[in-house]
Amino acid sequence: MKQRLLQLVAQTDLTVTDQQIDQLVGYVAMLDKWNKAYNLTSVRDPYEMLVKHIMDSIVVSPHLVGERFIDVGTGPGLPGIPLAIMNPDKQFTLLDSLGKRIRFIRQVIHELKIDNVTPVQSRVEEFQPEVGFDAVLSRAFASMNDMVSWCHHLPTSNGCFLALKGQFNQQEVTELPEWCSVTEVISLHVPELEGERHLVVLTAKD
């Protein structure tokens, strides 16, 4: 599996160390193992997870600006865990309302010795951070409108929202609240993944 991940990474401009490769593969192995009992992801094949979960997350890495990030509705830690592995100098808070997912994430950071992740079990609207985040990440939100509306209180005054999307939907942009606008749409290349992937950057208007 390590060899397979190296092949995929080689099709991108990403720089990944041996230790990071080991941690990413270790994460997939744990996800595969826990998935049988806890049903954490609909992707059953670990080799498919490498493309659909690992590569799909880490291609966002070059676009992370700042120090503190929150992954909202992280599920089993996506994209938060792969991004934390890729960016050991940045801090990641992984938020999910389901206990079994947070238990899994705690086990991952313990076993793989990831020290820049803080798992939090909470509904997003009830979570009140002491300090705002440079960016709010989400891969699982239904719509950008929901994302910015429910996470309005999370970024710093000059922070942003990063929505990982498949196709970019112009209709969703028209539904955004008045205070928020799309500042950039980045087309992402995920090796061997069918379909489009985009990173949509949203910021509050001054």
Contact 38, 108 (CB under 8 A): no
What does the pLDDT read at residue 142? 77
Torsion angle of C-alpha atoms 166, 34, 29, 121, degrees rounded to 10? 60
Q: Is the pLDDT of residue 197 over 80?
A: yes
Give the mean pLDDT of 66-75.
Answer: 97
Residues in the annotated binding site for S-adenosyl-L-methionine? 73, 78, 124-125, 139
Q: Is the pLDDT of residue 180 over 80?
A: yes
Q: Is the pLDDT of residue 54 over 90?
A: yes
Give the mean pLDDT of 22-50.
Answer: 97
Would the pTM count as exceeding 0.85?
Answer: yes
Ordered structural domains, the chain, with CATH? 1-204 (3.40.50.150)
The predicted-structure confidence for 106-158, as pLDDT tens digits, reads as follows: 999 999 999 999 999 999 999 999 999 999 999 977 799 999 999 999 999 99
199 contact partners, CB below 8 Å, separation of at least 6: 60, 63, 162, 163, 164, 165, 185, 186, 188
Residues in the annotated binding site? 73, 78, 124-125, 139
Tokens of 176: 């955004």
